[in-house]
Amino acid sequence: MRVFKSIMSWVVPIVIGLLVATIIRYFVFTLVRVDGPSMEPNLENNERVAVVKTAKIRHLSVIVFNAHKVDPIAKTGVKYVKRVIGMPGDTVKAQDGKIYVNGKVVSQKFISQFERTQGTGNWDLYALGNRNEWADKTVKVPKNSYFVLGDHRSVSNDSRYWGFVPAKKVIGVVKVPLWDTNATRRHNVNSLGY
């Protein structure tokens, strides 16, 4: 009996710890690896970031979502990291390197003038829908959906091509860990939501 109690004294805490870790990972946050250059200069290829599943999504939040059946070429299990530009009900357009949401210019200080002008293009949601033959041609972001862009617009495969991200596909909001030494990048990912 003594041996059993001794074994249980260290087995039970391990099992409880694993259970708590699993619950936290499933419901609160997880870690993901950024794959590709579409979020440069704010997130680098192969960088590991936290995804907070309980964080509120706002304009300019960086999110992770399951891209399968959002982007027609994304395979099962593929996740994308992008920045939310349009929320449900918003109008979104781009003109001469400026992004307009509901007719107001959005500050894009998180990327350079070159990144704003070289890859963004000139469009509105209806023109994108026609050009890319979206099933949902609209002038506003649909209910329970988001319009997302990568920060490195000239290389980003984003909503300009395949449309809106359904809210049910969103895993959570990206947060750069405190141990990342670049305060500007941390700010540009963690603190811009409005």
pLDDT at residue number 45: 92
Give the pLDDT confidence score for residue 11 in this predicted structure: 61
pLDDT at 123 (0 to 100)? 94
Strand order across the 104-105 sheet: 104-105, 98-101, 92-95, 123-124
Strand partners, 66: 79
Question: Tens of pLDDT along the chain (194 residues)?
Answer: 676 666 656 665 665 555 555 555 555 578 888 889 999 999 999 988 889 998 999 999 999 999 999 999 999 999 999 999 999 999 999 998 899 999 999 999 999 888 888 878 899 999 999 888 887 778 999 999 999 999 999 999 999 999 999 999 999 999 887 776 688 888 888 888 77
Q: For residue 12, what is the domain's CATH number?
A: 2.10.109.10
Sheet holding 48-52, edge to edge: 29-33, 48-52, 170-175, 62-66, 79-86, 145-149, 165-166
- Residues with a known catalytic role: 38, 82
Residue range(s) defining the domain that contains residue 15: 2-190
* pLDDT value, residue 12: 59
As for how many domains the chain has, the answer is 1
Task: Enter the DSSP assignment of 73.
Answer: T
